Structure 1
Amino acid sequence: MLQRALIGSILAVILSSVCVIVYTNKTLHSIESNLPSTLLTELNSLSVVLDGLADVVTFARIAAATKDPVQTGVLRTAVDTTHQLIVELRDTYVINNHVNASAFHAVVAPAIADLQIWLEEGVSGWGPDSGVTLSIVESRISETFRKAAKIGHHSRLAAQATLDSQKKRLEAFQQAVNVLYVLTLLLVFLLIYLLIRQRTAILRESEARDELQMQHNLLQNLLHHLPLGIAVWGKNRDLVQLNSIFTDITGYGFDDLPNMRHWPALAFPEPDYLQHVKTHWKSFGRDGSACEYRVTCKNGRIKDIEFRAVYLPDTRIINTLSDVTLRNNKEKELQESRASEVRLKKMESLGLLAGGVAHDLNNIFSGIVSYPELILLELPKNHKLRRPIELMRESGLRATAIVQDLLTVARGVAMEKEAVKINSIIEDYLDSPEYRLVRQYHPGVKLECSLDKHLKNILGSRIHIRKILMNLVSNGFEAINSSGAVRITTANVQIDVRGEGDNEIKKGEYVILTVADQGDGISKEDLEKIFEPFYSKKVMGRSGTGLGLTVVWNVVQDHQGYITVDSSPTETRFTIYFPVTCQPERNPDAVADFSSFIGNGELILIVDDVAAQRIITCSIIEKLGYRVESVACGEDAVEFVKHQPVDLIILDMIMSPGMSGRETYDRIIRLYPGQKAIVVSGYAETEDVKETLRLGAGGFLKKPLMIGDLAKVLHSLLSAKVGQD
């Protein structure tokens, strides 16, 4: 009976002890769980209010600086928001106040209340939107923010201390309970105690092992699945952990980085750049800021990598890195795309400008070019006025070329090409007023020429190749500060091996034109942009348009040529490759003998809306032996041919107001299918011109009209299929 009672008592003691222990442990765990939650809640409330207070400081500074009513309104909104957060904080600390939130409230609440009053009523007679009020507001809230930040810092320290203290008390209490449990079991029976103790130890060990395994798995998953390269360095800066992403990005593994001191030499092998990285990291990297560097990976590739560092209290360091190469490339592509869009807009504006003036200017140039040709036909070769008139004609041709330059850059206008010898273009340029002006501006620079006497011909536009030469020589002179030389070289070359790169040169025979100067050279950054429209760091050719090298590039491309640029601190050399042609050169400046192209009194109708152009063209036609009539618009032309058929029509493409040249010709061929016509325009060959040619027009000439070209086309069209109207 006693034994049963003893056993009952022992069982009762055991059960009671178990109940007390279970209840105590649950209570302890509850306290341990709830106290940090409460503290964190209060700390979070403090942080939210502090963040709101920081926003108020920022908006106060902006409002005080700008005095903008809109910014003042934003400030009022921020103040009201922060006031609401303070009210919520007060409700929290009234209940708990574990982290001295009351002191924080005592500092912040009055300041916010003052701000609300000042922003509504003003200060000492100054209005709420006045600079004085905003300055006072900014000063008051800045001082309050500093005090609040200090209290917040102390609160976090106090909270951490409270947690540490409570943890120690809980641990001590739990140990006391375990001791009581052990002593109770010893009183009951040693064997039972040992068995229960053994069982308890096994269970605890199993739970701890499972918990540790779960924590280990969690850390491993985080380490290897976060989209960041992670390296953990120990107290001696030995590598403790390195995830697979780090190795995937850089190629370096544990064997490559036993210690942190091995990293700089591997990642930054260039001494100068390594020094830059060290200096930059000391200034910005130690505070946790993101720092981006060019890292040489194990396979030799260079990547843009962003680094961050976390310095742990136990002196360990966690480095994270991410590969931002793709992001940077996309940003670069975006920048290039935006730059290309800007360039396209520039080109569009230039196209509108050039297109708007080209037609009218070419009409004006007709008088400057065509009339001198007519006069030259009448003058003897030895007449004293012949050379001045030839110079007038040449000036008109060059003025026409300026318009073509704009069109070339803006619209890629096709050029009329003929067999030319570059040497003769060079000699002509060196005898021109433009070159003499360049020499006048740069008296200390001399020009050296080395021209191949057996230079072959190329198929090109004489006036545009002259423009290339003029731009390159002018830029060469300007590149030399005081004294030096510019060298022009020509030669025949045979390319037998196809080149590589963007400027690869196909196999074949070429004439090369080289212009080199002894200037300071062009930087690598500028070298990539020199052919862009409007990009200029100098007064190119004394024009200041920034189009000189763009014209050079476009003309070279239109000639199916190639251009290379080599630059050093002592020399810049432009080399242009022009494909060779077997066609013979003709003299472009000679006034042609038109005796073989004289007409037989055929009737020619001139259709042009510009009176001066009609007069000039009629004079030329009459000089060539034809009868001529003229009208000012397409409607008049249609009415004229209804009553008087003509042998050929010279038709301007753009006439305003009224029908265009294409519409006019379309109406006329309904009356007279196969009507012979020549299309003329101050523009280049547009879609309307091409459509008119498809309708049956026999030729296209650009204004200003050259007498020789017009005579040949007239003779060719009127001689063909005689008798067919």
Structure 2
Amino acid sequence: MKRSRSLLRIFLWNAVIAVLVALVAAGMLTNLTLRSVEKNLPNTLLEQLHDVARIIEDLADVVSAAELTRAVPSSENLKRLRGEVDAANNAVVRLRNTYVFDNLIQASAIHAVVAPALADARVWLSEGVSGYGPESETTIGVVLLRISKAFHKARALNHASEEKAQAILNEQRTRLDRFLFSVNLLFSLAVVITFAMVFLLVFQHILQRRENEARAERRRAEQSLRESEHKFKTLFNNAGDGIAIHDLEGRFLEVNQVLCDRLGYSKEELLRLGLMGIDASEGSVLLPEWVDELTHKGSAFVETIHAVRDGSRIPVEVNSRMVDFGGERAILSMVRDITERKHAEGALRESEATLKSIFRVAPIGIGLLTDGILKQVNDRLCRMVCYSRQELVGGSARMLYLDQEEFERAGKEEHAQIRHWGTGTVETLWKRGDGAVIDVLLSSTPIDPTDLAAGVTFTALDISERKRAEAALSESQARFRELAELLPETIFEMDADGRLTFVNRNAYDHFGYSKEEIERGVNGYMMISPEDRPKAAENARRVMAGERIGLNEYKALRKDGCTFPVIIHSSAKLDDGKPSGIRGIIIDITETKKLEAQLRQAQKMEALGTLAGGIAHDFNNILAAILGYTEMALTDVSRNNPAGHYLEQVLKACHRAKELVRQILATSRLRKPQERARTQIAPIVKEALKLLRASLPATIEIRSNIETQTGGAMVDPTEVHQVVVNLCTNAFHAMEERGGVLEVSLAEVTIDEEADASPAGLRSGNYLRLTVGDTGHGIDPAIRERIFDPYFTTKEVGKGSGLGLAAVHGIMKNYGGAVTVDSDPGVGTRFDVYFPSVEVAQREEAPEEKAPPLGKAERILLVDDEDVLVEMGKSVLEHLGYKVRGVTDSVEALELFRAQPDRFDLVITDYTMPRMTGVALAREMMRIRPDIPIVLCTGFSERVTEEAVKEEGIRTLAMKPLEMREIAEVIRGILDEESGP
């Protein structure tokens, strides 16, 4: 049999070799034919086509260089253009010297088109055009036009050449196909014979290999079975819990050593006892329902008691499942000792019982609160608030408070104390079920200090009686003090001779007398200006005579000789029904006089604020388009392109304009200023000086001495920038005609309020002193006290509004600092600004800016009544990877959304739009689809705030103009939150 197989194999291999020889012969014949065809094809055809294509590429490079030179005229770009022209001309010369087959690829026609154009370009770039220099914009434009026309003609001729060459190749391919038909017939026959021979050989080999694999598979199965049995025995005997295998009648088939050790029996003893022998529960563990559950579900769980050999009992939990053991159905049970757990459960029940007893008998209200919901309350709390337990448990704690405002105040204060100290105590007002309001002392502590969400336990004590007693006592003790001292005016009494017998504390501040001087005796008429004393004496006589003279205006006189306007209202003081003096109220009307003078200016300021808000809103829209298109242009411009630098400068200017709009809106009260933060002053001063240096004339020299290691202050950086710019601008105006030196310095100083040289109004401590000095014309002493008044200015019309120094004074007053001035006419002026110093951590280097997060092809509906903003926003969002539908009409957007509410993943809408505002549009869209995320954009927020839009269900409020990164992060944050982790 083996010999016959060998002969068959030899025969088959000989046949295969014969077929292979035939295939080699066919291949050689085919090769000879292909070589013959190749000789008939012009060897230079493809090379010449390639050379012509390179000429076209060189012309394209010349056109690109000419366009770049016209866009960015420079010697470097012009030099590059000339080099490209020379390179293209040399390539044309080489083509003319080497081409053949003129009528085939029309190389001579291309030469006739390109060569004159390049020759003209070389002459024009060397000598210029019609009187214009070679570097002029006209010459570059003429060169670009000439080369562009030649380029388009040459490209058309090249296309015709390629088509002609393709026709020649197609003709050669047809001849080759005819020959290959006969070869393929021979080759197909050889392939069929070869496959038949190979099939027979492979079939024989497969039969032999299958036989070998079957023998190897049997050996592997036997080895795997042995290993599986070994692993099972290892796991069975070394498990942490007891394991037993028994039949449905409870006879043990196998047990592990852990179960034997736990029960105190040997393996043989346990196998004899069976499951019923160790079960110490009241009922049999093999209950019918347990067996039924195990049979139908395949697993069952039960807690029972096992008997130990020494007579003790242990609680266990048994987890059983059906298994195949030795070819028969059996039960595998995992037995776990739960003695320790049972002890812990008992201790827990005992502890809970103790706490419940304390909870019931406590003399104060006690409750448990989780997520604002009352979970438990004791009887004392129910009686205190006049609610039943059923009404309180499961309800919101809000029902106990007087109103929502009190509920939020108490909660915030209490939670702040818990986070800081671990417990919180606050006095608040509760409203009982019968409508009465009570004062409550509320103390709370978290159940789990590490997890406040787990809930808090609170105690409540009714302190209404104590509060009423304290209030009554305070009222009785402070009634006269409140009447005399609470008023911001001066209250006085004087006898018939004019001697003051009583004044309140305000008199000391208003008139400059000390308490001791008043007590020693001061005549009230001496506090009236001499020209008004006769009038005051006459009015006093009339009042003591019983007349009612009403309010009278006088000039009051301070101890230091200064006067100020007052109104006095007085009446007679009676003793036993007889007039013995006068008592009355003195009202300082200095501020009233100032307010009357400033009322018209305030009205102008209000109009200015309204105008500024409107202008800023429109400017925001313009700025948004510039900012968006600039950012997009930067993404398409390489770093080596000079245009990228210009675009970056545009972007910086946009950021400054954006900050300017923010300041305008803050000034016009249409937008809240930034919150104060610990900020280093030195970098802000340097930045402001950098901006001012470019705007000041060369006749003004700037000298700066900024200590970079100074501390910081609690400030708004924009307001600090405003202080520096206003003071420097004021100095510039003082030196505008003759020039001079502007000196700016920043240093740390320590103020001692006891020292004579300390600035007025500053407390002792550390300050940052910003000094701005000039060598201008100085300030006249007659007007020095008025320079900080709003709208006061000595400048000509168009030179200033008089708000600069007033703004500086107001900012520093809000910061608790001061601004002082020292000026000599004809010498110069120096302003010192004092910022209260605070410690500020050194600023870390800003992390490298990352690319904005990209979209995942989500669909966005963009609504804005400005066409340019819709177009720009659509381009930006599509650049970020979103699919965008832009609409300029809010009503149209609503109809589009109503037709297909599930078409969009997010909506971005402007706030101010005709026909329907952004908030109204959002409200209607959420009625159609409540879960649609909406972003509201606005340039100012006088009528709309972050809190207001979130109450409407809008996800966030975005302030225009938005940078690409800002809108990308806002959108990505909302969509990622929607999709979940």
TM-score normalised by length of structure 2: 0.37
Bigger Rg, which one: 2
Larger RCO, structure (CA 8 Å, separation 6 or more): 1
TM-score normalised by length of structure 1: 0.49
Flag the structure with higher strand content: 2
